[in-house]
Amino acid sequence: MGPGDLLRLAWGSIAAHRLRSTLTMLGITIGIASVILLTSIGEGTRVFITSEFSQFGTNLLAVHPGNTRTTGVPGSIVATQRKLTVEDGEALLRVPGVEKIVPLAIGQARVEAGNRGRSVYVYGVTARP
CB 41 within 8 Å of CB 35: no
Question: In a 3-state reduction of DSSP, which class is residue 113?
Answer: strand
Predicted confidence (pLDDT) per residue in 60-69, tens digit? 777 777 666 6
Predicted confidence (pLDDT) per residue in 76-100, tens digit? 555 556 778 888 888 888 988 888 8
Give φ, ψ of 38 to 5 degrees: -65, -40
Q: How far apart are CA 8 and CA 71, in angstroms?
A: 77
| Partners of 116 in beta bridges | 113
The sign one gets for the Cα dihedral 37, 40, 42, 44 is: negative
Query: What is the model's pLDDT at position 83?
Result: 77
The residues spanned by each domain of the chain are 3-54, 61-129
Question: In a 3-state reduction of DSSP, which class is residue 51?
Answer: helix
Predicted confidence (pLDDT) per residue in 96-122, tens digit? 888 888 888 888 999 999 899 999 999
Mean of pLDDT values over 34-50: 95
Helix (H) or strand (E) holding 26: helix 18-54
- Return the closest-CA partner of residue 101 out of 88, 115, 116: 88
Mean of pLDDT values over 54-59: 72
The half-sphere exposure of 108 on its side-chain side, counting CA atoms within 13 A, is: 2
Question: In a 3-state reduction of DSSP, which class is residue 44?
Answer: helix
Q: How far apart are CA 70 and CA 61, in angstroms?
A: 22
